[in-house]
Amino acid sequence: MKSNLFRSVLAISILIIGVLLAKCKQPIQPDDGGVGIIVPGKSVEGIKLGDLKEAVVAKLGRPTSVGWADGIYRSWRTFSYLDGPYAGLRIDFIDSGATYGPVDEIGAVAPYSGKTKEGIGIGSTLGMVHGVYGLPDTSLYNPAQHWAADFYCINQKKFEIHYEDSVVTTFSIGYFIPMPEDPLYPCK
């Protein structure tokens, strides 16, 4: 009887250990973002659309420069990271007058090196982007100056990608608060 009980306990223990080990081998899903990860429509470097200034500073540190950007439909307070591990990253907060509003848009240029889970980032080709995301919802082209821009609606947010000579030079995700009056906004 003790032998059968021992075998049952041993079999259950091995089963439990096997299940736990199988869970440990599963890759971490970058759906919530993190260091070096771009999640179109959600986050860059773990900074999510809608985060507040304090969360950005806690994750990325103080920006190299702070400024303002005016658009036709909205204005922003901007953090720019020009050196260090986040060089090339720009965080735009909705300008709420005397205070910073939530993160509305996140963009990047070289030398930023983050990538999507599919490997798309600065330096990817137009063919790679279209291979992963398909044809865009909207595009702009200027063949004389060798540039193009693609606009996708992913997770109900804009994913904007600019190319020079068919190579990604900049991208942005946003808006946290939809901007349907923007004629290039693909999430209408």
3-class SS string, the chain: CHHHHHHHHHHHHHHHHHHHHHHHHCCCCHHHCECCEEECCCEECCEECCCCHHHHHHHHCCCCEEEEEECCCCEEEEEEECCHHHCCEEEEEEEECCEEEEEEEEEEECCCCCECCCCCCCCCEHHHHHHHHCCCCEEEEEHHHCEEEEEEEECCEEEEEEEECCEEEEEEEECCCCCCCCCCCCCC
Mean of all residue pLDDT scores within the chain = 87
The pLDDT assigned to 97 comes to 85
Higher per-residue confidence, 123 vs 16: 123
Predicted local confidence at residue 37, as pLDDT: 95
Residue matched to tokens 């060089």: 87
Residue 33 has a pLDDT of: 80
pLDDT of residue 96: 87
- The model's pLDDT over 97-123, given as tens digits with 9 standing for 90+, comes to 888 999 999 999 999 999 999 999 999
Looking at the predicted structure, is the pLDDT value of residue 22 above 90? no
Q: What is the reported pLDDT for 132? A: 97
pLDDT at residue 29, as a whole number: 44
Report, as an integer, the average pLDDT of 119-147.
96
Give pLDDT tens digits for 1-15.
Answer: 555 554 554 444 444
pTM over 0.75: yes
Rounded Cα–Cα distance for residues 139 and 123 (Å): 19
Q: Please determine, for residue 24, whether its predicted confidence score (pLDDT) is greater than 90.
A: no
Mean pLDDT of 51-70: 96
Whole-number Å distance between alpha carbons of 139 and 12:
58
Closest CA to 162 of 131, 126, 133: 126
